[in-house]
Amino acid sequence: MAIREIRKKDDEILRKVCKEVKDFDKKLWILLDDMYDTMKKADGVGLAAPQVGILKRVVVIDIGDGRIELINPRIVSQSGSQNGAEGCLSFPGLFGEVERPNIVTVEAQDRHGTVFQKTGEELLARAFCHELDHLDGKVFVDRVTKFLEN
């Protein structure tokens, strides 16, 4: 386990499209464990691999209900909408209102390559959308409708 450096703001790696994971091996498991520890230490609820400089389609999320690992995730359904404050470990101190769907179902693989689906509402739906955006080089500031004072 190790804490990795979180890439910030203008780092161009945050704007790149990540590659599909093909090897579900020890290297991936170490990345997942390091990402989780890095996210927890930074007091975050989600982290995507490009935020630690790795251009792979890997996400970890924990909104307080336990650890969720998403490999090669994609959104398979979404409904409703929510408007709320959002932030990002790559943009410390910056918060803004972002509209997201209220219910989101993702399909992904776990650390062994097994495909599963998970549905999230409200904060978890927001986290799915925010973290999956990172895998396509999109960051939340692009979607902010109003920046908030902190």
Stretch near Co ion under the rule CB under 5 A, chosen from 13-21, 35-43, 80-88, 97-105: 80-88
Give Cα 5 distance to the centre of its chain: 16
Nearest of 77, 83, 87 to residue 150 by alpha carbon:
87
Interface mask toward Co ion for 107-146; x: CB under 5 A = ----------------------------------------
Question: Whose CB is nearest to Co ion?
Answer: 88
Stretch near Co ion under the rule CB under 5 A, chosen from 54-62, 76-84, 85-93, 113-121: 85-93
Structure tokens at 39: 């996210």
Contact flag: residue 58 with Co ion (CB under 5 A)? no
Q: How far is the CB of 90 from Co ion (least distance, A)?
A: 6
Structure tokens at 127: 């986290």
Q: Which is nearer to Co ion, 90 or 109 (CB)?
A: 90
Measured CA angle at 18 (ends 38, 26), to 5 deg:
55
Contact flag: residue 106 with Co ion (CB under 5 A)? no
Which one of residues 71, 88, 98, 104 is an interface residue with Co ion (CB under 5 A)? 88
C-alpha span between 13 and 90 (Å, rounded): 11
Q: Is 32 helix (H, G, I), strand (E, B) or coil?
A: helix
